[in-house]
Amino acid sequence: MAIKEVTQKRYLEAFELLPPAVWVSFGFLMGEAHDHRRCSITGQTAPTFAAFFAHNDKFYEGDPMTTAEFRAFDVDTLP
């Protein structure tokens, strides 16, 4: 999975564009599905959403994730 650092402005623009599909302490999934694919956690076909993370005063954007993948993500793996 590709994750890149983005500006706080990009993070907030994405957050304000649509209501989040999921919003947790470390980030959110953008509110409109990107596509559908097999989830690596559940094994079921599920919608994926653009992923955004905030960690250690930095902001990141990742490849689309399912809600299960997002909730299981370990933000301590971010740089």
Domain ranges across the chain: 1-43
Q: What is the pTM of this model?
A: 0.93
* Structural element, H or E, at residue 65: strand 58-65
pLDDT in tens, 36-53: 999 999 999 999 999 999
pLDDT of 1 strictly over 80: no
Mean pLDDT of 61-65: 96
pLDDT in tens, 10-32: 999 999 999 999 999 999 999 99
pLDDT of 5 strictly over 90: yes
What pLDDT, on the 0 to 100 scale, is given for residue 79? 81
Pick from 58, 75, 62: nearest CA to 24: 75
